[in-house]
Chains A and B, each alone.
Chain A
Amino acid sequence: MAQDRFTGVGLGLRRPHLEAVAGLEAHGVPFWETCPENVIGDGGRHHRMACAVLDRDPVLTHGLAISVGGFDPWDGEYLRDLGRFLIRTGTPWHSEHLCFTGVDGSCLHELLPLPFTREAARHAIARAKDLQTRLPVPLLLENITYYAELGPSEMDEADFIAGVLEGADVGWLLDVNNVYVNGLNFGFDPKAWLSRMPLDRVAQIHIAGHKRFGDITVDTHGAEVIDPVIELMQWTLARLGRPVPVLLERDNHIPDLDALLAERARLQHAYDAVLAPVLAPGGVGHG
């Protein structure tokens, strides 16, 4: 299967590192993740370097702007370009966020929460199913951080996400940092939360750093991953019993490439440590 080559800990391909990565074939990164919106329709020197890396190395794609839970019509031209891009990269799947990002044609460029209600779930399911029919690869949805519930809730976040994933029959990009941050902000145990979820749908994991501002912890992608989040990743991988790819996200206060490669190596060590026993001959794998 194509996705068998996607294991270990990858990195997001970010603009400040393009030149270095393009000139560095033996970087040790098993795959890169790229945001199609930042490549499609772009041009110039950085664009050429990005394309050179994407044509050379294994790539997963992760979108930021498709408003899966929104009401605005799809941008048909963008979806056609996206489909061509996904085929060009050879990505085994494409992920978007379970959220809304715009209203009435106005793009807000923020991952905003959906109401935890039956009608919002039905709407997100219908939209995800429709979006899936327009993509050439399987769609994954990612759980977001949220800082407030949007209106009165009829269910909790876990039931909402599980319901949408099952209803739309799509895979899950599980962001363990988002689970951890939501646990801090809303006072729940991340492992208990994950134990309720359809982990068989997890195809990829995201991990990142966060920061506390006053009483609220924000998913900043601007700091190193802390040990409890790494431990949550390991706990999840052990439950999964299979080597799903993990992506280290870093979008703010981006360090130089060497520092990021060192953090990736630290996460890879944690990844290997937890998966070695279950993947060894005679090991217990499940999920």
Chain B
Amino acid sequence: MAESRTLGLQRAMASLVLDGDEAVFESDPGEAARRQGLGDAEQRSFRDQGPGMRTYRELARMSLIEPLETLFPVLKALLDAAGAWDGCIQAFLDARAIRSSHYRDIGPAFLGWLAATGWGQDRWPFLLELAHAEILEVLVARFPDADPPGEVHADPGPQDRVVLDPATQVVTYTHAVHRVREQAPVPEARPTHLLAFRDGEGEARLLELTPATAALLVQAQTRPLAETVAALGLPGLTPAMNLLRDLHRDGAIAGFHRPLA
């Protein structure tokens, strides 16, 4: 196939950029061409242009790694302290898991790769939760704009279901990962419930919920409010509805829906 040489060269460039073996590429960039089965002329071309090839490796890796360092500073601090951040990043690059042409998707791709592979979670069981919590507000802030859900009203009734705003997330972690910081990146082990949503200005906000409120928000999406409040043993319907009105006013709840009988 006529294009196979061009494709081979492109694969060699990808190998040069993404593969580990820093010392190998530093001493011989032609190794990237050799790995793709390219001939002596191609290997020599890579080798003879060492400074330019190393520039590509540096620039391309920087463009892929910088968003991760920005989005996951606490995770980086945790892994850096154990000398494991670079290894984590290299394992991610080795997996060729960045499949989206949207630059903003690099962070979510990293999160997806952590979830799919379980990388590091035998040593740090909270690692995936920590990464998710670090990116949660960004995901909510940039959730694709969509038409508001139809047939919802603003004031809740006992037979209504809760309809969350499409960007809203109710999440439960086994660790208090929202309280960590770079100087203290290991979270306390305690169940944590968070509500992440966009306010009226479109800015992301984060609230810590009680277990009962988290359960209310999840369960009342699929069964009547009064029934949910009773099943959860909450103090009464009125306080629950007042809370839901507040969350509707703040933007977390799109409205309330009463299914046809």
Contact = CB atoms under 8 A, between A and B. Distances in A.
Size bracket, chain A contacts: 35 or more
Interface in B1-49: 2-3, 5-7, 9-11, 13-14, 17-18, 33, 38, 41-42, 45-46, 49
A44 B96 contact: no
A120 B3 CA distance: 7
A45 B60 contact: no
A101 B101 contact: yes
A169 to B, nearest CB: 21
A123 B6 contact: yes
A160 interface: no
A109 to B, nearest CB: 5
Given A42-B142, A43-B167, A45-B141, A150 B102 contact: no
Given A44-B142, A104-B96, A152-B42, A70 B10 contact: yes
Interface in B96-114: 96, 98-104, 106
A218 interface: yes
A155 interface: no
A107 interface: yes
Interface in B36-69: 38, 41-42, 45-46, 49, 51-53, 55-56, 59-60, 63-64
Contact of B3 (A71, A101, A102, A150): A71
A48 B101 contact: no
B124 interface: no
B201 interface: yes
B104 A102 contact: no
B173 to A, nearest CB: 23
B83 interface: no
Interface in A43-64: 43-48, 64
B198 interface: yes
Contacts of B56: 110, 112, 147-148
Contact of B63 (A47, A71, A75, A109): A109
Contact of A148 (B7, B49, B143): B49
Interface string A97-112: 0001111111111101
A117 B9 CA distance: 11
Contacts of A78: 101
A119 interface: yes
A43 B145 contact: yes
B144 interface: yes
B203 interface: yes
A109 B10 contact: no
A256 interface: no
A157 B81 CA distance: 46
Nearest to B44: A152
A123 B6 CA distance: 9
A156 B215 CA distance: 66
B45 A149 contact: yes
Given A45-B202, A48-B145, A149-B45, A107 B100 contact: yes
Nearest to A122: B2
A41 interface: yes
A119 B1 CA distance: 10
Contacts of B204: 44
A37 B103 contact: yes
10 shortest interchain CB distances as A-B pairs: A148-B52, A45-B202, A65-B101, A148-B49, A110-B60, A147-B52, A43-B145, A106-B96, A103-B14, A147-B55
28 contacts: A37-B102, A38-B104, A43-B167, A44-B204, A47-B145, A48-B145, A64-B103, A65-B102, A65-B103, A71-B3, A71-B10, A102-B101, A103-B11, A104-B96, A106-B99, A108-B17, A108-B18, A108-B64, A109-B60, A109-B64, A110-B59, A112-B56, A122-B2, A148-B51, A151-B41, A213-B55, A214-B51, A216-B51
Interface of B: 2-3, 5-7, 9-11, 13-14, 17-18, 33, 38, 41-42, 45-46, 49, 51-53, 55-56, 59-60, 63-64, 96, 98-104, 106, 141-146, 167, 198, 201-204
Interface of A: 37-38, 40-48, 64-66, 70-71, 75, 78, 100-110, 112, 114-115, 117, 119-120, 122-123, 146-152, 185, 213-216, 218
